[in-house]
Amino acid sequence: GTMHAKLIIIERAQALRVCISSSNVTPQDWEGVSQCIWVADFKPANDPEAPARKRVKPDHTSDFGDQLARFIETFFRSIPDSSSLSSYWVKVLTGSRFNVKLPKGVELIASAPGYWKGDDRDNWGHMRLRALLSDVHSEEILFQCSSIGFLPASFLADLSKSLNGNIRVAWPLYDVAMWKRGSNFLRFPSRHFEGGQFPLN
């Protein structure tokens, strides 16, 4: 597959807007499937209502701007002639112009292309989720997905270990799944629906 981040960053004089969605930028995804989109506006540092920014070391407790900047650096690393673009957005996200911070308890968990080990392993995907959830005690974990590709059993086992709890998935209905079948919306047999494991309508 091809890494395609569902991320939009808009820089304006009065605010920096970050949008993260569950949808691909196609009419089929937006018009036919329930999606979620997260939007946050970050005010300039000289705005009296903006929170004070404190730089921290880049680890799994980093603030939002540092984590997003690390993702952008990693994402653009494999794209030729993109260093100036990457450097620009890293400067915007970690510089002094905007306060790119979120309330405590709101975290970015990004997936980055490639294989990770050592200290980098806990910066991405379900391993970062595992690190963050290690300090959280919850009886239930709820997450939403609009589509899912092929997931080998070994990955599902690791993901289950990272979630370490009672998992509930907000999953597409059968009619929607069948409507999107031609676009590889689902990558497992229809018997999962037919056997009653997922809702039909």
Catalytic residues: 4
Q: Which of 146, 159, 198, 201 lies closest to 189 in space, CA to CA?
A: 198
User: Alpha-carbon distance 106 to 108, whole Å?
Assistant: 7
8 A C-beta contact, residue 39 and residue 57: no
SS3 58: coil
List beta partners, residue 38. Answer: 20
Strand 140-144 relative to strand 37-42: parallel, antiparallel, unpaired?
Answer: unpaired
**What are the tokens at 197?**
């494991």
Amino acid sitting at position 93: L
Strand 7-11 relative to strand 140-144: parallel, antiparallel, unpaired?
Answer: unpaired
Residues in binding site for substrate: 6
CA distances from 9 to 20, 38, 45, 119, 196 (A): 9, 12, 18, 27, 40
Amino acid sitting at position 139: E
Residues in binding site: 6
User: Alpha-carbon distance 75 to 62, whole Å?
Assistant: 18
